[in-house]
Amino acid sequence: MHEMTIAGTDGGPAASAAADWAADRATTSAGGMFLVHVVETDEQDSDDDVEARIAVARPAAQAEADRLLSTRPGLELTVEVVYGDPAEVLRALSSPTGVLALGAGTNEGRGPSLRERLVSTATGPVAIVPAHSTDTPVTGRGIVVGVDGTDSSLAALAFAAEEATRWGEPLEAVNAWLDVLPPSQLGFMAVARAPRTGSTALREADPETALLRSRHQALLHEAVATVAQTHPDLIITERVVQGEASRVLQQASRSRRLLVVGNHGRRRIARFLLGSVSHAIVLDVAGPTVVVKAPDAR
pLDDT tens digits in sequence order for the chain, 298 residues long: 778 999 999 888 999 999 999 999 999 888 899 999 999 999 999 999 999 999 999 999 999 999 999 999 899 999 999 999 999 999 999 999 999 999 987 545 545 688 888 998 999 999 999 886 444 544 468 999 999 999 999 999 999 999 999 999 999 999 998 765 445 544 433 333 434 444 554 455 567 778 888 989 999 999 999 999 999 999 999 999 988 888 899 888 887 899 999 987 544 333 333 457 787 888 888 889 999 988 876 6
Check residue 37 and give its pLDDT. Answer: 96
Q: Are residues 120 and 152 in the same domain?
A: no
Check residue 179 and give its pLDDT. Answer: 61
Among 90, 107, 135, identify where a domain stops. 135
Check residue 296 and give its pLDDT. Answer: 72
Residue 68 and residue 75 in contact, taking contact as beta carbons nearer than 8 Å: yes
Check residue 267 and give its pLDDT. Answer: 44
Question: The domain spanning residue 56 has which CATH number?
Answer: 3.40.50.620
Q: Are residues 121 and 199 in the same domain?
A: no
Pick the closest to residue 235 from 160, 155, 152 (CA basis).
160
What residues make up the domain containing 209? Answer: 137-298
Q: In angstroms, rounded to a whole number, what is the distance separating the alpha carbons of residues 223 and 226?
A: 6
Residue 80 and residue 103 in contact, taking contact as beta carbons nearer than 8 Å: no
Among 135, 164, 194, identify where a domain stops. 135
Among 83, 117, 135, identify where a domain stops. 135
Q: Are residues 115 and 173 in the same domain?
A: no
Q: Are residues 172 and 297 in the same domain?
A: yes
Q: Are residues 161 and 117 in the same domain?
A: no
Q: In angstroms, rounded to a whole number, what is the distance separating the alpha carbons of residues 68 and 64?
A: 6
Burial of 111 (C-beta count, 10 Å sphere; 0-12/13-18/19+) = exposed
